[in-house]
Amino acid sequence: MANSSTAIRQPLGATKTLAVILAAGQGTRMRSALPKVLHKVAGLSMIGHVLTVVSQSVSTAASVVVGPDREDVADEARRVLPDSRIAVQADRLGTAHAVLQARDSIGTGYDVVIVLYGDTPLVRPETLSRLRDAVINGAAVAALGFEARDPTGYGRFIMAGDELLAIREHKDASEAERRITLCNGGLMALDGRHALELLGRIGNANSQKEFYLTDAVGVARNAGLRTVAVAASEDEVMGVDDRMKLAAAERILQDRLRENAMRNGVTLIDPSSVYFSHDTKIASDVIVEPNVFFGLDVSVESDAIIHAHSHIEGAKVGRGVHIGPFARLRPGADLAEGARIGNFCEVKNSKIGAGAKVNHLSYIGDADVGANANIGAGTITCNYDGYFKYRTVIGEKAFIGSNSSLVAPVTIAKGAYVGSGSVVTKDVPEGALAIGRGQQVIKEDWASRFHEAMARRRAARQ
């Protein structure tokens, strides 16, 4: 095996890097029918986070090692990163054995091979770049380490200056070695020219009879190659293998998303009560009040105000729109500039035109609402007959009186007016008034006579 040179071999941009992501664990401590790596953090599977980070930073190709019959994990990997390659680890014989299942990919020739775990979703792109650069700068193996608050269970880094001599698994470590707090985060970068040979030399003579990836360090040193440690924060390398860690990962990621939003000019009055998804797009000068939840696929343009206790998913929120308090936007809600969605209103699969108002207690589903229309309190679009969904079309500047039911398919044309309490089943022409309710009847003196008659009846019984 040749010695690595310490010079940079080629410009960083041209470095061919393969990411191998280990995802063969079921994660029994999750107590779940779902494989561990498919559990979500900020709305995206853990494997999805890992693939996103590698594709944003270091990798030119990715190979995901899954357990047998794990089409679900393979599908998710390809959904997030369509050219992900899939390798299968039939028997769980250890982390080095898992990496070797991707030998066909590794063997095609990469400058750097980076190994990541599918259950370690919080690693940052900058950290991956530093790990890769350690190999580009001449290390045959670079391992990511962190100072552990509690090192129990982790592999320990045996250091000599800044050289990494070995990684000792907790179960194989001596008493003295167990006092070391610099621990193995699990991620490792290997020189692509040596990777297969180093991995192939790893044996399983240890307490767990497993092929340890961590032994790549010792094997490389025996071959006279350089091995180094790269530092990361403990948060970044947190492995999620139970529901408590899943919740902890969610907290860490939410804090990052909140901080990002604020750095980009979003006001969060109470950041810890606002929940984002990994893909939430929110422009500067948006104000978000406390207790707001952003589900997947939401964009919010500038100057919008999201009042307290609102739940938003799959929605486009235009410039200067006000939502809530207590509003719900469901997928397909598309609100144009200056629209108002008030308290206890739900909007689904509907376009709300510029300046239109849906301010109180309404359900607007499968509708097109024109600009500056006014939807009165308690208006309901009756969009479903138990079999099919139908659309309601409301023209610009139309006025829908309170407590009306619009039975779709139905069109209320531009500038038309619907009297309060109407059940509208037929189209309303432009500029017309529709009233669809019982006629009011007045009976003069009826109440007075009723009270007198009842009072007489009660007196007769006493």
Q: Which residues are catalytically annotated?
A: 360
Give the type of residue at 297. Answer: D
Choose which of 48, 67, 155, 239 interacts with Mg ion (CB under 5 A).
239
Q: Which helix (H) or strand (E) holds 394?
A: strand 392-394
Q: Considering the complex, what minimum distance in angstroms separates the CB of residue 239 from Mg ion?
A: 4
Q: Considering the complex, what minimum distance in angstroms separates the CB of residue 77 from Mg ion?
A: 20
Is-contact 410 426, C-beta < 8 A? yes
Residue 378 binds which entry of Mg ion, ligand UD1, none, CB below 5-8 Å type-dependent: none
Residue 119 binds which entry of Mg ion, ligand UD1, none, CB below 5-8 Å type-dependent: ligand UD1
Residue 196 binds which entry of ligand UD1, Mg ion, none, CB below 5-8 Å type-dependent: none
| 94 binds ligand UD1, rule: CB under 6 A | yes
| 275 binds ligand UD1, rule: CB under 6 A | no
Is-contact 381 399, C-beta < 8 A? no
| 25 binds Mg ion, rule: CB under 5 A | no
- Of 1-9, 19-27, 291-299, 375-383, which part binds ligand UD1 (CB under 6 A)? 19-27
| 24 binds ligand UD1, rule: CB under 6 A | yes
- Of 85-93, 128-136, 190-198, 384-392, which part binds ligand UD1 (CB under 6 A)? 85-93
Whose Cβ is closer to ligand UD1: residue 141's or residue 333's?
141
* CA pair distance 172, 164, nearest whole angstrom: 17
- 167 Cβ neighbours under 8 A, 6+ residues apart: 143, 155, 156, 157, 158, 184, 212, 214, 215, 217, 218
Per-residue mark of binding to ligand UD1, 379-418 (x: CB under 6 A): ----------------------------------------
Per-residue mark of binding to ligand UD1, 116-135 (x: CB under 6 A): -xxx----------------
Is-contact 216 197, C-beta < 8 A? no
Tokens 């001449």 correspond to 138
Which residue(s) pair with 188 in the sheet? Answer: 115, 143
Give the type of residue at 290. Answer: P
Whose Cβ is closer to Mg ion: residue 95's or residue 227's?
95
| 155 binds Mg ion, rule: CB under 5 A | no
Task: Tell me the backbone φ, ψ of residue 383, rounded to 5 degrees.
Answer: -100, 0
Whose Cβ is closer to Mg ion: residue 46's or residue 428's?
46
Q: Angle of helix 46-56 relative to helix 125-136, nearest 10 degrees?
A: 50
Whose Cβ is closer to Mg ion: residue 240's or residue 304's?
240
Name the 3-class secondary structure at 190.
strand
Q: Which pair of structure tokens corresponds to residue 5?
A: 């040179």
Is-contact 395 430, C-beta < 8 A? yes
DSSP assigned state of 36: G
For β-strands 399-400 and 417-418, DSSP reports them as parallel
Whose Cβ is closer to Mg ion: residue 184's or residue 411's?
184
Per-residue mark of binding to ligand UD1, 158-197 (x: CB under 6 A): ---------x-x-------------xxxx-----------
Is-contact 115 103, C-beta < 8 A? no
Q: Which residues bind ligand UD1 (CB under 6 A)?
A: 22, 24-25, 65, 89, 92-95, 97-98, 117-119, 154-155, 167, 169, 183-186, 212-214, 239
Q: Which residues bind Mg ion (CB under 5 A)?
A: 239
